[in-house]
Structure formats: C-alpha cells, structure tokens
C-alpha cells in the first residue's frame, strides 16, 4: 500500500469540507434578509468590509510578490532523495516560492469567503430571530461554519496536493509561510480596525452621550460592525489557518528528519511518518463536519452549551476515527518497532487535544461572570477606576499559571511518548478539530452584528433580547476557543522550534547540535526574544489608542456640528468613521508586521543560528505570558461590565458601572488586538527562521557575523 | 605582597563608611526638630515605623533561624584547598550557616539604622526649610547618606572579614543569601505597606473628599508617611544591599573557579582574582564618600541636578581611583598574561558602570514630564480613564527596549573583554557606586515626609512649596536610581547564573557542562521561569488591592461615624490605619517570599540542575521586562498627574486630572510594590539555586527525579 492513499484522505476531507461550506453558504443566502432598513444597514457593513479587504489585499499582494521574489533567490535547504543538501548556488527556488504564493492566496481566499458569508449571515440571523431564536441560531451557526470549513479545507487541499507533487516538507513550509504572512497582516490590521471603531464608539457614544450599544445615531456604529467582521471573522480565521498549517508542517519536517537520525526508520517508511499529521488532520476535519451537523440546538437551554457540545462531540469522534485510521496505517507499515512508535504518536496527539480543551476551560474559569476572578473584578469596580484595573491586571497575570501548567504537562507526556516529534503531534492533535473551533468563533461576530442590525432595523425589544441571548452564547464559546487558540499556537511554535533546530543540525552536519543557553550569543538571543512580544504589544496598543483618538474627535465633531444627528432627525456620516478605521489600521499594521520578519533575520545574521533558536524560545515563552494575560484580562473585564449591566451592584449608570466600562475599554485592545496578534507573530517569526535558515548558514556557517 | 593587603582596602573603606554614617547621623540629630506639632507627627511616624519593623524582625528572626538550621545540614559544596569537594556527609556546615546569620543580621541592622535616621531627619528637614531650602536639602541629603553609607559599609566589612577568616567564596555566598532573604521580606512587606496606605489615602481622601495630599484630617496620612520609610528607605536599602553583595559574590565565585579551568592561573594567583571585586567595591565606596562630601547644593539651581552631579562625580572618581589600585594589584601579580586579563576586567567594570548610568537616563526619559511619553500620557488623560491606562501600559512596555539594548551591549562588550567573569565584573562595576545611589534614593522619602510634616505642622505655604521643590528633585533622582537598580540587579543575577552553572559543572565533574535549551526538561524549566515573575507580581498587586480596600473601608467609616474629623475639630484615628497596613503587609508577604525559595528548589529537584539554570534564565529575562515596565509606567503616570496638577490641561479638579489620578493609583503598586520586588525575587531565587546546589546533586546526580 502506498503512503499516497493516506494522503488522499486529507485531500478528500478537504474537498468535502469546501463542498459543505458552499452548501451551507447557499442555505444561508436563501434566508430572508429582513426589512429594508436591515438590508440597508447590512449593505453598509458589507461594503465597508469589502472596501477594507480590497485595500488590504492590494497591499498584501505587493508584499507577497516581493517576498516571493526574495524566496526565489534564497539558498533554501531542499531534500535530495536521501540527503539534505542546499540548492545549487544560482538555481532558483521555484518550488518554495510557488508554494508560498499558493499559501498566501489560499489564506486570502479563506478570509474572503468567510467574511463574505459573515456579512450576509448577520442580517439573516437577525431576521431569523424574529421568527424564532432557534432559526437565528442556526443561520448564524451555519454562517460561522462556512468560515471554519473553508479555512480547514483550503489548508488540507493545499498541503496534500503540494506534498503529492513534490514530496518534500520544505515545499509545504513555503505554503505555511505564505499563509502566515497573510495572517499577520489580517490579524494586526483587523485587530486595530475593530478596536479603533469599538473604543471610539464607546468613549464618546456610551460614556459622553449615554447612547446604547449599536445605536444608529452613533457615527461609529457601522465601523464597529465592520470591525467585528474584519477583525473577528477574517482575522481570527486566518490566525487559526496559520497555526493549523504551521502545526502540520512542523510535524512533517520533524518526521522527515527521522530517517536521517534513526536507525529503525527507512527512507520508505519515513513517508508514513510525514503524512501521518496530514491524515490525522483529515480525520479531524471529518470529525468537525460530523460535529457541525450533529449539533441541533433545541431552542430551550443555553445555546452556548450547544456550541461547546459540538466541540466535545468532535473531540470524541476524532479520538475514535483517528484510532481506526492509525490502525490501517500500521497495517501498511508492518515493522513492529515503527508500529509501536506510531501508536505512541497517536497518544501524543490525543493528549494534545485534551489538554487544549482543558486550557480552554481555564480561560473560561477566569472570564466567566459566575466565578471568583470576574466577580471580584466587578466588586473592585465599586472602589473606582483604578482598582478595577489593578484587579484585572492581577487576575490576568494569575490566569497564565494554569494553562502554563497544562502545556508543561502536555509537553512532558507527549515528549515521553514520542520525543520532540511527539510534541509536534500533540500540537497537531490540539488543532485537528480546528474546523469546529473556527466555526464556533465566527458564530460570535455574526450574532454580535445581528444584534446591532436588529437594533438598527427596529425589530423590537423582544427580538433584540433574543439576539442578545445568542450573542452572550458567542462570548461563552469565545472564551474557550480563545484559550484553545493560544494553547495550540504555543505548542505549534514549540514544535516549529524543534523542527528548526533539527534542520539546522542536519544542514550544519552536526555543528549546531545544541543551543547552550549560557553561551553569550544564545543568552543575548533569548533576551531579545523575551522583549519582542512586549514591544510588539506596545506598538499595537499605541496604534489603537492613536486611531481611537482620531475616531473620538470625528464623532464629537459630528455631534457638535449637526445636533440633529443626536435627535435622530438626520443620519450620521458613518463613512468618515469607516475611512478613519480603514486608513489608520492599514497604516499602523506595517511596522509590527515588518519587524516580525526583520528582527529574527537580524538576530540570526548577527548572533547566529543558535542565538536565533534561543530568540524564538524566549519570544514563545514570553509571548505566551502576554497572550494569555491580555486575552483573559480583557475577557474578564468585558464580562464584569456585562454582569454589572445586568443590574448587579447597582447596574447601569452608576459609578461602579462607569469604572467597569473603563476596565472593558482597556481590555478591548488587549483581548482583540495585541493578545491574539501575538500568536501570529510567533508563528511568522518561527517560520521566518526556518525559511531563511539556508541564508543564515552563509554567515560564518551559521555562527553569525559577531562570532564570540 | 599578599592578597590580604588588597582585601584590607575593602575593610578599611567599610569602616570609614560606618564612621562617616555615624558622624552624619549625629549632625542630623543635632538639628532643630521644629514645633510641637511637628515633633508630635514625626513621633507618630517614628513609632509606626518602629512597630512595623519590630514585628517584621520577629517574623524574620524565626525565618532566619529555620533556614540557618536547614543550611547547617545541607550537603553544600565547599572548596578544599585545591579541589572542589562536597562536605563529608554528616558534617555540619557551620561556616555557611554562620555566614548566613551574619548576612541576615547585617541587612537588618542596615535597614534599622537607615530608617532610624530617616524618621529623625524628616521633621528636621522640614524645619530646615523654614530657615532656608538649602538647609532643608542638606539635612535630608545627610539623612539619606546615612542609609547609603551604612548599607555599603556593613556589606564590605562583612565580606572582607568572612573571606579573611575562611578564604572560600562559598562562605560569602551564605552571607549573601542571608542578606537577600531579609531583603525579600523587607521589600515585599514594605512595598505592600506603603501602597496600602498610599492607595487607600488617595482613593477616599483625594478622590472622594477632595482633601489635599498629606492632609492631617485623612486618617491614613500617618500610615502613608510610615510607608515611605518602611518601603522606600528600609526596603530600597535592603534591595540594593542585596544586589550589591550578590554581585560581589557572583564575581568571587567565578574568580575562584578560574584556577580550576584555566592553565595560566595558579591557585596562588587566583586569590587576586577573587578579591579584585572586593577591592573595586572598596574604591567605589571611597568614591561615593568623596562624592557625598563634594556635593554642596548652592540653593539656587535645581537640587535634582546636584544629586545627579554626585553620581557623576562618584563615577569619575571611581574610574580614576580604581585604575590606580588596579595598577598596584598588577604590580603584585606580575605574570604578564594575568596582568592583561586584570586590565580587561577593569574595562568590563567600567563598561558596567557607564551602562548603568545610561540605563538610568533612559528611565529618566520615559518618566520626565517634559518628554514625549509622559506628555502623551497626560494628553491621553483628556480622553478619559481608559485611554490614560492604555497609554501608560504601552509606553511602559516600550520603555523596556532601550535598557534591554543597553544590557545586551554591556554584556557583549564585557564578555568580549573577560568572558563570563567579565560579565560579573560589569555588574560589580555598575554597583560599585551604590553608596551614592542609595543615598540619593533615601533622600526622596525623607523630603516626601518633610513635606507632609511641614503641611501638618502648619509651617505655611512658603515652606511647603520649598519642601515641594526638594520633593520633586527626589523624584527626578529616583527615576535614575530606579533604572540603575534594575539594570544592576539584572546583570548581577546573570552573573550569579553563570556562577551557578560553573559550580554545577565543577561539582558534577563536567556532566552538567551545558544547558541545552531544546532538551525538554530545560525547556520546561525556562517555561516555568518565565511565568514566575508574572505570578509573583500578580500576588503582590492583589495583596495591595485587598489591603487598600480594607483601608478604604476604615477611612470611610471614620469619616461617616465622626463628621468632626473632616472639619478638623477632632483628630482622626490614624493608629487603626497603621494597624491595618502593618497587619496586612506582614500577612501578605509570606506567600510571595516562600515561593521564591520553594519554586526553584522544586524545579531543581524534579527537573534537574540544567532545568533550574534555564528556570533562572527565564525568570531573569521575563523579570527584567516586568520590572522595567512596571517601574517606568508607574513613574510616568505619577509625573503625568503631577504635570496636570501644576495647572496644565486644565489642572486640578478637571476630568482630565481625575483620569490622571487613576493612572497614578494603578501605577503605585506597579512602581513601588511589584516592580522593585522582582529584583529581590530574582536575586533570592538565584542564590537559592547556588546554595542548595549540593542538595540537588543528590537527586540522580543533579538530573532530577524526572529523568527524560
């Protein structure tokens, strides 16, 4: 039996997934889009989102072309049947450059399709709520699933076909780098966009003029809704797309090196190891698909529970199905010691998946309004603005500890089961059901938008409160998916780091075998690495703050110059707000995006490949701390505010409420801009290191310009 | 010429320093303590501070006795003339346990003396201001110098005598550990105390009742003043005492190992290397002394400039004098290759000192109200509470980058000059003029208190504004000394880490030669290490928040139950506020203090000595990020508020001002509790690793219980 048969499973799963996505899309489009005003509002949102994406894709296009050309000339390592060689000097690296472009285009396509359906689903979900909450839920959930299925489908199809044509993981590495560089732009830009609009709308509309959320009189309302789509749908989708592909490629690279380092694995057998991660992900996708179609919310209990139930079902189906296919694979392999090893790798992937879910739960604990941390933050709001900030800051930092323990345990067990390849497989396992995760996640902004459209389309208090219920379910699911995304990205970049080191070792013929932390260049690398996530977060938050200030000025100007906007007699000029968010976010994303490629390159060239390894390790660990801290502090502040708005501790309008709004506003760029962008930053930096490894070897054989 | 001659210089400098401290103390005590009300207030502050220290020292006493007994039984490495051996099993380690107790007692003595003079100097400085600002300045500066000189004097006398009696750096290691465990208690406890009182006083007094700073009607005013003494004088003093001793011991340990690893250094020559750091510190102390007596503020220009001028003068004198004594040392050594090496080490120490000053300046830039960051934070306050927080958070994170670059450059040059011993010497160089640094630092809380006493003693607007001027000079100097302290601590713990690894290598006979970052136990160690400073900060800030809430309740209760307090007809019951701060801080310091010893031990026992090395590296790097971020964000928020209070952007009472108070209140525990405690945490964890190294070798020869 040839290994390609198992590769086919990934390909087939990918194709099924895209077909299902298109089918769900057609279901969503068939629904009633609601009254004229709703169609109008949804149209504004759609056109705002499309405008943004168009400009974004233009810039991205230029960026991708430049990098593709650079890759073409790069002395990148390519496998040469049974040995690792560098490309012949002067030969152009067409394979990797092409794969890079395919990855970039695939990621853009997934983002575009997901958002295209998202902006259609929102008004239909709002209208659905006026029939029944269940109908609203179904439309939103299907809309979100389109994104989830597209992301995973495109990834699997791309990887399977590329590896089929050129069975060298280095090609897939190019694909992954393409996906990641797009993701970084999408995530940073989308994150800045959404929070520019959100913070601006809140600071003036809510705090100064006491307007409710999504009020049509607020000029930034539409920009805020657009932001949900570009930040939370397209941005989050490309983030998980990127982690997903990266986790697969890390495992493939490590698998490919096995034949060079282990006696019991032949070059032939090696292929089974290399495609095993692809196989598992194909099965994960099928499990996600089944999960999506098994989930039928009955309309009575908490819809958030149904979303989470989908995650559990997918997990269990995955565990069963993948055991079955692993069994088939072992039949094909036959060699006893290798069979045992594959089963241990299976175990590592299951460990990864379960630990992902556990990490999601701890995020949930730290951000739920019925648990101590968020409750205490709400109480702290009674003491004023400063105390609620201090409280959230502390609990956010505390919340880093449980997932860190979770990752350490998962990593330890996975390592004991399968060495560093086991660690990579645990990342693959964690991300195998990413289809479900992205679907649940994209559900959130759709219902959030639906709520806004229901408000602006004047569907009445009843419908709005139903949409609210769906919205709050989205927030519950989001806490878990966000923790999941961080945990998965973290394990993925660790796996990438191992693969980077293994490649460096092979390329240097054993010179770069260890990364001794207490040699000075390595220590310097680690030092710079630890600082980078802090620096990167600061740049993003400053960008949001700068843009939000412009937005605030614009909203104030509109209210002052035309008092009829506030009375509702005349419409606000929301196009100017959209323009501010679009222009600002596209301008501000450039520097953070570029440093994520330039800094690792500079470290590698100056201090050497070992220092670059330590740089990545430092960035990964400190990035984990910042990502979890910001995601959870932000989520908890948000929920503490909502809990107070539900009438606790005096409810809306009190000083306590105002203090809680301060917490929420501080948390906004934490949880939706800087925090989630760190994941992508880490993946891009890790892939940059691997892709440019061949180049780095040019400088004193990888020891760097500054040899100690 | 025997090496002891050079050791004597350290001893003599220490003795001169103590004599001078006692002389300055007598000058301060001779001054007029002011009117009856001032004496009364100063008496309250003094008794509050003493009560706190008494209880603190009781707990500390018990802790020290327990640890001393533990050390007695510890299989600690001791040198055996020309080889490294473990103590004979069963033999009691009297030497190290005794040195530990001496170090602890020395640190307590320095803290006590410094604070004793501080609480006497405050009222005298206030009274001095009513004669002339210059007189006030001189009294405060002399008072602060007592602390500075005592700290350094005690350290040098202790180290010189101990090494004279038992010429083994492991003994001095015990001394350093004693100093550090006391420092951790003093720093955590003092930090929680001072901010409990400060935040509580501000939240109710300033924000709710519009009382000015230090208003005698505010029941927490005295507790706030006591806090300045226990936190900023005793706490900061013991912090720098601890870094100082640790930097010397790290260099001594590395020097001692040189004879075992280098061919050109005989056992005899080795002693010159070992005492070289002590010699340089002795000279640094003399330079500080000269600096202190040369500084005569003329009463016209900015007093902050005079304080900084003292630092520069001490730096230059140190550079010259130490070159002279290094020359004498090389005369005694004679061996050409070794002489060249000593000169390179001299260069490393000078590099360290200059980079310390540069790091101080970057802190100054990020916290000065006439520079962009603080100015922008003040502008951000116009957009409300949330935006000023986001702004401070971002600038705080950005401010990590320049000192990180500074440390990387210093480390690189020092390494190129003298290897890891060179890095240790750069830390020694940075800390050589610590006498000046502590003096300038202790000046701050004295004038801060003086201002309060002038207010409460009703010395009139003129005198208060003079005291204000002195106070603001203290803040300027503080920004630099704080950056300095963090940079110095960071280089010190890096040096300790190198010394730890070198010892581990010698003890394991070469088994633990490298710390390979990408082995799983090492990676896990680094992961835990990176998380610890975040966890530790969270615990301390939560402690402040919890205690401040109690303080707030108490102040509100007093105002509500007795309205005559607010009219000034009846005195507030400040003793209850003092009791809350005392009790709370002593209770809350225990857990953070204990984890700093328990976590490194647990990592070493479970994951092994290499993992512990990586743990320390992770904690040092992430601790650096958190320490700098919190110190600078806090300082900038404070100054942005003061700038607004000076009448800018509308001045006091505006919404902008209120937002800036929120920033300041959030920054308080950042800059005065969590941030500075991280330094001490890192030193204690590093010393714990070195001290317990012999014990850790018991578990699978240092590989840990969980062998991978």
Q: What is the DSSP string of B168-179?
A: -HHHHHHHHHHH
**Banded model confidence at residue B156, pLDDT cuts 50, 70, 90:** very high
SS3 B220: coil
Flag whether pLDDT at A299 surpasses 80. no
Average predicted confidence (pLDDT) for chain B:
88
Residue B413 included in any domain: yes
Q: Do B542 and A398 touch (CB under 8 A)?
A: yes
Q: For strands A77-80 and A83-86, give the pairing.
A: antiparallel
Smallest Cα distance from A131 to chain B, Å: 40
A551 in contact with B at a CB cutoff of 8 Å?
no
How many CB atoms sit inside 10 A of residue B168's CB? 22
Residue B159 dihedral angles phi and psi, to the nearest 5°: -65, -45
- Choose the mutation target among B200, B201, B381, B383 for the interface with A, i.e. most A CBs under 10 Å: B383
What does the pLDDT average to over A600-604? 96
Query: Which run of H or E residues covers position B86?
Result: strand B83-86
Which residue segment(s) compose the domain that B216 sits in? 4-702
Of B398, B538, B613, the CB nearest to A517: B613
Q: Do A383 and B497 touch (CB under 8 A)?
A: no
SS3 A393: helix
Flag whether pLDDT at A178 surpasses 90. yes
Distance CA A581, CA A585 (A): 6
A386-427 pLDDT, tens digit each: 999 999 999 999 999 999 999 999 999 999 999 889 999 999
B549 in contact with A at a CB cutoff of 8 Å?
yes
Q: Which of A13-22, A183-192, A234-243 has the highest mean pLDDT?
A: A13-22
Residue B126 included in any domain: yes
Q: What is the pLDDT of residue A656?
A: 93
Range B334-342, long-range pairs (CB < 8 A, 24+ positions): B335/B264, B335/B269, B337/B264, B338/B264, B338/B265, B338/B269, B338/B272, B341/B418, B342/B272, B342/B273, B342/B276
Distance CA B525, CA A328 (A): 38
Smallest Cα distance from B269 to chain A, Å: 26
Query: Which run of H or E residues covers position A83?
Result: strand A83-86
Distance CA A507, CA A85 (A): 7
SS3 A210: coil
- Choose the mutation target among A351, A491, A518, A537 for the interface with B, i.e. most B CBs under 10 Å: A518
Assembly ipTM: 0.93
Of A411, A614, A625, the CB nearest to B530: A625
What does the pLDDT average to over A661-689? 92
Smallest Cα distance from B143 to chain A, Å: 34
Instruction: List CB contacts (< 8 A) between B543 and chain A.
Output: none
- Contact yes or no for A349/A425 (Cβ under 8 A): yes
Residue B708 included in any domain: no
Distance CA A176, CA A243 (A): 9
Smallest Cα distance from A352 to chain B, Å: 16
Q: Do B517 and A520 touch (CB under 8 A)?
A: no
Q: What is the pLDDT of residue B510?
A: 76
Q: What is the 3-state secondary structure (H, E, C) of B525-577?
A: HHHHHHHHHHHHHHHHHHHHHHHHHHHHHHHHHHHHHCCHHHHCCCCCCHHHH
B340-361 pLDDT, tens digit each: 989 999 999 999 998 888 888 8
Q: What is the pLDDT of residue B137?
A: 92
A183-209 pLDDT, tens digit each: 888 888 999 999 999 888 888 887 778
pTM of this structure: 0.94
Residue A708 included in any domain: no
Q: Do A400 and B542 touch (CB under 8 A)?
A: no
Of A203, A398, A617, the CB nearest to B517: A617
Q: Do A530 and B199 touch (CB under 8 A)?
A: no
Residue A344 dihedral angles phi and psi, to the nearest 5°: -65, -35
Q: Do B400 and A545 touch (CB under 8 A)?
A: no
Q: What is the pLDDT of residue B89?
A: 54
Smallest Cα distance from A529 to chain B, Å: 9
Distance CA A387, CA B542 (A): 10
Residue B707 included in any domain: no
Residue A194 included in any domain: yes
Distance CA B485, CA B682 (A): 13
B527 in contact with A at a CB cutoff of 8 Å?
yes
Q: For strands A83-86 and B83-86, give the pairing.
A: unpaired
B665 in contact with A at a CB cutoff of 8 Å?
yes
Residue B431 dihedral angles phi and psi, to the nearest 5°: -95, 0
Q: What is the DSSP letter of A31?
A: S
Flag whether pLDDT at A708 surpasses 80. no
**Banded model confidence at residue A115, pLDDT cuts 50, 70, 90:** confident
- Choose the mutation target among B366, B397, B496 for the interface with A, i.e. most A CBs under 10 Å: B397
Provide the domain count of chain B.
1
A289 in contact with B at a CB cutoff of 8 Å?
no
**Banded model confidence at residue A81, pLDDT cuts 50, 70, 90:** very low
Q: Could you tell me the two tokens for B13?
A: 């400098």
Q: What is the pLDDT of residue B90?
A: 59
From the list A698, A634, A653, A702, the residue with the least C-alpha distance to A198 is: A634
Q: For strands A77-80 and B77-80, give the pairing.
A: unpaired
Instruction: List CB contacts (< 8 A) between B522 and chain A.
Output: 517
Flag whether pLDDT at A616 surpasses 70. yes
A1-17 pLDDT, tens digit each: 577 888 898 999 999 99
**Banded model confidence at residue A82, pLDDT cuts 50, 70, 90:** very low
Instruction: List CB contacts (< 8 A) between A416 and chain B.
Output: 708
What does the pLDDT average to over A551-572? 87
Smallest Cα distance from A366 to chain B, Å: 14
Q: What is the pLDDT of residue A531?
A: 97
Q: Do B666 and A524 touch (CB under 8 A)?
A: no
Distance CA A30, CA A237 (A): 24
Beta bridge partners of B161: none
Least confident segment among A352-361, A495-504, A603-612, B72-81: B72-81
From the list B21, B130, B147, the residue with the least C-alpha distance to B434 is: B147
Mark out the alpha helices in A433-460 (DSSP H runs).
434-456
From the list A147, A322, A104, the residue with the least C-alpha distance to A237 is: A147
CB pairs under 8 A between A and B: 232
CA dihedral for B14, B16, B19, B21, sign (positive or negative): negative
From the list A525, A673, A651, the residue with the least C-alpha distance to A599 is: A525
- Beta-carbon-side half-sphere exposure of residue A184 (alpha carbons within 13 Å): 30
Instruction: List CB contacts (< 8 A) between A624 and chain B.
Output: 527, 530
What does the pLDDT average to over B679-695? 92
Give percent of chain B above pLDDT 70. Answer: 97
B383 in contact with A at a CB cutoff of 8 Å?
yes
Residue A86 dihedral angles phi and psi, to the nearest 5°: -90, 155
- Contact yes or no for A249/A158 (Cβ under 8 A): no
Residue B336 included in any domain: yes
Of A411, A523, A535, the CB nearest to B397: A535
Give percent of chain A above pLDDT 70. Answer: 97
Average predicted confidence (pLDDT) for chain A:
88
Residue B30 included in any domain: yes
From the list B198, B341, B190, the residue with the least C-alpha distance to B264 is: B341
Give Cα separations from B615 to A517, A622, B511, B686 (angstroms): 11, 13, 19, 10
Flag whether pLDDT at B577 surpasses 80. yes
Instruction: List CB contacts (< 8 A) between B207 and chain A.
Output: 384
Instruction: List CB contacts (< 8 A) between A528 and chain B.
Output: 404, 408
| A556: closest chain B residue by CA | B383
Distance CA A248, CA A240 (A): 12
Residue with tokens 């004693």: B178
Distance CA A331, CA B425 (A): 63
Q: Could you tell me the two tokens for A19?
A: 């077909």
Distance CA A246, CA A178 (A): 11
Q: Do A527 and B408 touch (CB under 8 A)?
A: yes
| B412: closest chain A residue by CA | A520
Q: Do A397 and B537 touch (CB under 8 A)?
A: yes
B39 in contact with A at a CB cutoff of 8 Å?
no
Give percent of chain A above pLDDT 90. Answer: 44
Q: What is the pLDDT of residue B125?
A: 93
Flag whether pLDDT at B61 surpasses 50. yes
Q: Which of A40-49, A345-354, A588-597 has the highest mean pLDDT?
A: A345-354
């Amino acid at each position: 039996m040839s290994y390609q048969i198992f590769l086919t499973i990934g390909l087939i799963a990918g194709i099924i997934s895209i077909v299902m996505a298109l089918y769900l899309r057609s279901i969503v489009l068939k629904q009633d889009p609601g009254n004229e005003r709703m169609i109008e509002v949804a149209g504004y949102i759609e056109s705002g989102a499309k405008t943004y994406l168009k400009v974004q894709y233009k810039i991205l296009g230029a960026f991708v072309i430049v990098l593709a050309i650079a890759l073409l000339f790069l002395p990148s390592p390519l496998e040469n049947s049974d040995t690792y060689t560098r490309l012949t000097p002067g030969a152009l690296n067409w394979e990797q450059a092409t794969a890079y472009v395919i990855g970039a285009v695939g990621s853009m396509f997934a983002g575009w399709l997901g958002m295209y359906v998202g902006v259609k689903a929102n008004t239909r979900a709002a209208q659905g709520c006026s029939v029944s909450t269940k109908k609203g839920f179904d439309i939103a959930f299907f809309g979100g699933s389109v994104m989830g299925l597209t992301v995973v489908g495109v990834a699997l199809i791309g990887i399977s076909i590329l590896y089929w044509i050129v069975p060298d993981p280095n090609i897939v590495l190019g694909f992954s780098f393409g996906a990641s560089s797009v993701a970084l732009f999408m995530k940073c830009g989308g994150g800045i966009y959404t929070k520019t609009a959100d913070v601006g709308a809140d600071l003036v509309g809510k705090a100064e003029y006491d307007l409710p959320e999504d009020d049509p009189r607020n000029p930034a309302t539409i920009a805020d809704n657009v932001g949900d789509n570009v930040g939370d749908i397209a941005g989050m989708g490309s983030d998980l797309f990127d982690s997903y592909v990266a986790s697969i490629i890390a495992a493939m690279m490590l698998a490919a090196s096995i034949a060079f380092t282990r006696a019991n694995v032949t070059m032939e057998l090696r292929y089974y190891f290399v495609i095993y991660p692809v196989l598992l992900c194909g099965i994960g996708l099928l499990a996600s698909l089944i999960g999506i179609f098994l989930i039928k919310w009955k309309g009575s209990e908490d819809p958030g529970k149904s979303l989470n139930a989908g995650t559990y079902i997918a997990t269990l189906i995955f565990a069963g199905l993948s055991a079955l296919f692993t069994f088939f694979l072992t039949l094909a392999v036959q060699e006893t010691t290798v069979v045992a090893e594959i089963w241990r790798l299976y175990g590592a992937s299951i460990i990864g998946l379960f630990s992902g879910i556990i990490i999601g739960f701890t995020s949930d604990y730290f951000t739920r309004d019925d648990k101590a941390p968020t409750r205490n933050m709400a109480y702290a709001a009674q003491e004023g603005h400063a105390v609620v900030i201090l409280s959230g800051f502390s609990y956010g930092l505390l919340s880093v500890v449980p997932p860190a323990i979770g990752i350490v345990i998962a990593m330890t067990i996975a390592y004991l089961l399968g060495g560093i390849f086991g660690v990579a497989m645990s990342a693959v396992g964690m991300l195998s059901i990413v289809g479900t995760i992205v679907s649940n996640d994209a559900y959130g902004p759709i219902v959030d938008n639906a709520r806004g459209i229901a408000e602006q389309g004047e569907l009445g208090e009843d419908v709005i409160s139903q949409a609210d219920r769906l919205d709050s379910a989205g927030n519950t699911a989001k806490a878990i998916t966000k923790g999941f995304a961080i945990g998965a990205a973290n394990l993925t970049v660790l796996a990438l780091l191992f693969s980077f080191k293994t490649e460096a070792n092979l390329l240097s013929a054993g010179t770069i075998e260890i990364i001794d932390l207490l040699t000075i260049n390595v220590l310097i690398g680690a030092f710079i690495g630890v600082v980078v996530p802090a620096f990167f977060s600061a740049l993003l938050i400053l960008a949001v703050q700068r843009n939000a200030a412009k937005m605030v000025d614009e909203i104030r100007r509109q209210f002052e110059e035309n008092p009829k906007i506030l009375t509702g007699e005349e419409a606000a000029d929301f196009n100017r707000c959209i323009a501010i968010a679009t222009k600002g976010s596209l301008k501000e994303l450039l520097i953070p995006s570029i440093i994520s490629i330039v800094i690792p390159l500079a470290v590698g060239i100056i201090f050497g490949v070992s220092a670059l390894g330590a740089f990545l390790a430092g960035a990964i660990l400190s990035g984990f701390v910042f990502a979890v801290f910001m995601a959870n502090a932000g989520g908890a502040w948000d929920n503490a505010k909502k809990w107070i708005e539900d009438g606790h501790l005096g409810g809306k309008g009190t000083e306590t409420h105002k203090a809680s709004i301060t917490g929420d506003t501080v948390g906004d760029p934490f949880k939706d801009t800087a925090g989630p962008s760190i994941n992508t930053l880490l993946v891009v930096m890790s892939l940059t290191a691997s892709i440019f490894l061949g180049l780095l070897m040019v400088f004193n054989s990888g020891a760097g310009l500054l040899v100690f």
